[in-house]
Structure 1
Amino acid sequence: MNTRHDSNMDKYIDYRDRGLVTIDTLPTITLGSWGRKIEAFQIQLTPKASEHNIERDTLDDVITAKFKFFQYVFDSVTEVHIIPDKNIAYVKAKLIRTNETPFFTEIFEKNNKKEVIRTLTFRKTTEGWKFCD
Structure 2
Amino acid sequence: MVPKLTLALRLARRFPDNASLLAELREDKTIRRTIDAYDYLSGVAREGGSVTVADVAAAVKLPLSGTAQAANAKAVATILAALTTYDFEEATPILTTLVLRKAGKRPPPAFFALVDDMGLLAPYDDEESFVKDETARVHKNWVAA
**TM-score, normalisation: structure 2:** 0.21
Structure possessing the higher relative contact order (Cα contacts under 8 Å, 6 or more residues apart): 2
Larger Rg: 1
- More strand per residue: 1
